[in-house]
C-alpha cells in the first residue's frame, strides 16, 4: 500500500490508532519516528471525496502562517489523492506533524488556553476566506432540524427493542430541542472546522504549545458557535463521550475561562451576536452528537465505528446529559463568556 505513495522507499511499520468513529487510521513510523498517517477513507460517510480533497487544498492555502502548523496530503505516484484497493476502498496518506501529540483529557488551565488559542488562530487566518468557496462535504452536517428529522424517522422505522431502551431520554430531548429551536440570529457564516473536539487538537510534545487542528474532512461553511461548542464540550466535561462508568456529568468552568482567554489571546475578532451565541453552541453541539449517536443506535449501528457493545447508546446518554447540564447553567456560562471580554468588531 505505502509503495503506491510518493514517499522515500524505507522500512515502515504501521499501527492502528483506535480513536475516531469514521475512518480506519494507522500511524506509520520509521524507526521510532512517526512520519505519516495512513487512512482507509470512509466513502459511505463522505461520498464526495473530491470535495474533501479540494476543501483541504483551499484550507491549507489560507492557513500558511508561522503561528500555525500544517500537515500535507501526500499524492500517490500517479498524482492522485487516493489509491483504490481491490475491494474498491479508498486510502490516503497524510504527513505526521513532527513532535506532536494529542490529549485524552484536559488537566491544566494552560492546556485549555492553548486549545482556545489554536481555535482562535484557525478562525482568524480564515476570516478573509470566502465560505462559499468551500462545499459542504456532508450536507446539513450540524443542522438541528435535519438531525431531529432523521431521529424521528429512526424512531418510526428503527429496531423497536432499541427504541424501548432509549425511552428514558425522550423528556430531556424534548426539553433541549425546544430551547435549541430558537436559533441565534445575525450570525455570519465562516469557514468552520466542524469537528473541533479535543482529540483533533495537536500539541507540541516538548513545549506543550497548541500547534493546529487536524481531521479536516468536515471543513465547510458554518457558524463560529459550532466550533466553539464542540471544542468546549470536549474540554470542560468531566468525562469523555464514550465513558461507560456511572459518574454524573459535571463541568469545570475554570477551564472554560482558560479556553476563552486563549481565544482572546489569538486576536480573533468576533461579532457581538457571535459572542452572545456561544453558550447556545455549548448546548447545541453535545445535543447534536447525542441525537446522531442515538439515531445510529436505533438504526442498528450502521454509521459510527464501535469499540464496545451499545457504545452509541452510552455516547448518547453522556452527550445528552452534558447538553442538559450546559442548558441548566447557560446563564452563568454566558456571564463568564462576557467577563472575558473577547474582541468585538
Ligand atoms: C465523528 O471520526 P471522528 O471521531 O473524527 C463525527 C463527528 C463526531 C465524532 C464523535 C463525519 O468524528 O461529527 O464529533 O465522531 N464525524 C462525522 O462525536 O460524522
Ligand atoms: Mg472527524
Task: Report whether pLDDT(317) > 90.
Answer: yes
pTM metric for this prediction: 0.97
From 16, 17, 22, 322, mutation site for ligand 1 pocket: most ligand atoms within 8 A of C-beta: 22
- CA of 197 relative to ligand 1 center, distance in Å: 9
For 83-106, what is each residue's pLDDT tens digit?
A: 999 999 999 999 999 999 999 999
Position 165 confidence tier, pLDDT thresholds 50, 70, 90: very high
Which pLDDT score, from 0 to 100, does residue 18 have? 85
Assigned C-alpha cell, 39: 487512512
Question: In this structure, are strands 100-101 and 190-192 parallel, antiparallel, or unpaired?
Answer: unpaired
* Mean pLDDT of the residues in the chain: 97
- CA of 20 relative to ligand 1 center, distance in Å: 7
How much is the CA Rg of the chain, to the nearest whole Å? 20
- CA of 72 relative to ligand 2 center, distance in Å: 17
For 173-192, what is each residue's pLDDT tens digit?
A: 999 999 999 999 999 999 99
Residue corresponding to grid cell 471543513: 219
Share of the chain above pLDDT 90, in %: 97
Q: Which fold has domain 2-98?
A: Phosphorylase Kinase; domain 1 (3.30.200)
**pLDDT (mean) for 266-272:** 98
For 106-128, what is each residue's pLDDT tens digit?
A: 999 999 999 999 999 999 999 99
**pLDDT (mean) for 63-84:** 97
- CA of 224 relative to ligand 1 center, distance in Å: 18
The minimum-distance atom of ligand 1 relative to the CA of 215 is 5
Q: Which fold has domain 109-340?
A: Aminoglycoside 3'-phosphotransferase; Chain: A, domain 2 (3.90.1200)
3-class SS of residue 58: helix
For 34-44, what is each residue's pLDDT tens digit?
A: 999 999 999 99
Q: What angle do CA 235, 26, 126 make, to 5 degrees?
A: 50
Position 265 confidence tier, pLDDT thresholds 50, 70, 90: very high
* Cα 227 from Cα 125, distance rounded (Å): 15
Task: Report whether pLDDT(210) > 90.
Answer: yes
3-class SS of residue 248: coil
- Which residues lie closer than 8 Å to 261 by C-beta, 6 or more apart? 113, 116, 340
Ligand 1 neighbour 271 (Cβ under 6 A):
no
Nearest CA to ligand 1 atom 7: 195
Task: Report whether pLDDT(19) > 90.
Answer: no
> Any idea what DSSP says for residue 249?
P
The domain locations on the chain are 2-98, 109-340
Amino acid at each position: 500500500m505505502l509503495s503506491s505513495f510518493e514517499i522515500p522507499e524505507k522500512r515502515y511499520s504501521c499501527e492502528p490508532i483506535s480513536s475516531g468513529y469514521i475512518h480506519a487510521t494507522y500511524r506509520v513510523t520509521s524507526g521510532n519516528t512517526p512520519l505519516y498517517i495512513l487512512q482507509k477513507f470512509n466513502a459511505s460517510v463522505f461520498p464526495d471525496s473530491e470535495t474533501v480533497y479540494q476543501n483541504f487544498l483551499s484550507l491549507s492555502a489560507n492557513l500558511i502562517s508561522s503561528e500555525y502548523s500544517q500537515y500535507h496530503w501526500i499524492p500517490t505516484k500517479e498524482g492522485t489523492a487516493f489509491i483504490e484497493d481491490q475491494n474498491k476502498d479508498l486510502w490516503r496518506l497524510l504527513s505526521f506533524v513532527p513532535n506532536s501529540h494529542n490529549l485524552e483529557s484536559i488537566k491544566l488551565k494552560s492546556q485549555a488556553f492553548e486549545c482556545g488559542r489554536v481555535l482562535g488562530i484557525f478562525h482568524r487566518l480564515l476570516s478573509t476566506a470566502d465560505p462559499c468557496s468551500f462545499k459542504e462535504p456532508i450536507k446539513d452536517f450540524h443542522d438541528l432540524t435535519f438531525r431531529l428529522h432523521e431521529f424521528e424517522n429512526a424512531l418510526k422505522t428503527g429496531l423497536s427493542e432499541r427504541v424501548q431502551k432509549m425511552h428514558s431520554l425522550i423528556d430531556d430531548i424534548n426539553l433541549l430541542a425546544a430551547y435549541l429551536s430558537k436559533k441565534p440570529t445575525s450570525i455570519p457564516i465562516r469557514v468552520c472546522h466542524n469537528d473541533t473536539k479535543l482529540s483533533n487538537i495537536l500539541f507540541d510534545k516538548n513545549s506543550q504549545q497548541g500547534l493546529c487542528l487536524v481531521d479536516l474532512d468536515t471543513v465547510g461553511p458554518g457558524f463560529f458557535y459550532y466550533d466553539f461548542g464542540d471544542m468546549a464540550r470536549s474540554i470542560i466535561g468531566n468525562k469523555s463521550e464514550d465513558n461507560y462508568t456511572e459518574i454524573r456529568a459535571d463541568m469545570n468552568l475554570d477551564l472554560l475561562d482558560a479556553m476563552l482567554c486563549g481565544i482572546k489571546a489569538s486576536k480573533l475578532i468576533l461579532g457581538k451576536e457571535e459572542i452572545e451565541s456561544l453558550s447556545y453552541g455549548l448546548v447545541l453541539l453535545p445535543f447534536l452528537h447525542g441525537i446522531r449517536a442515538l439515531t445510529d443506535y436505533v438504526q442498528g449501528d450502521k454509521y459510527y465505528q464501535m469499540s464496545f457493545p451499545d457504545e452509541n447508546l452510552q455516547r448518547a446518554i453522556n452527550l445528552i446529559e452534558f447538553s442538559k447540564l450546559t442548558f441548566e447553567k447557560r446563564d452563568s456560562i454566558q456571564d463568564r463568556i462576557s467577563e472575558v471580554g473577547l474582541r468585538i468588531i
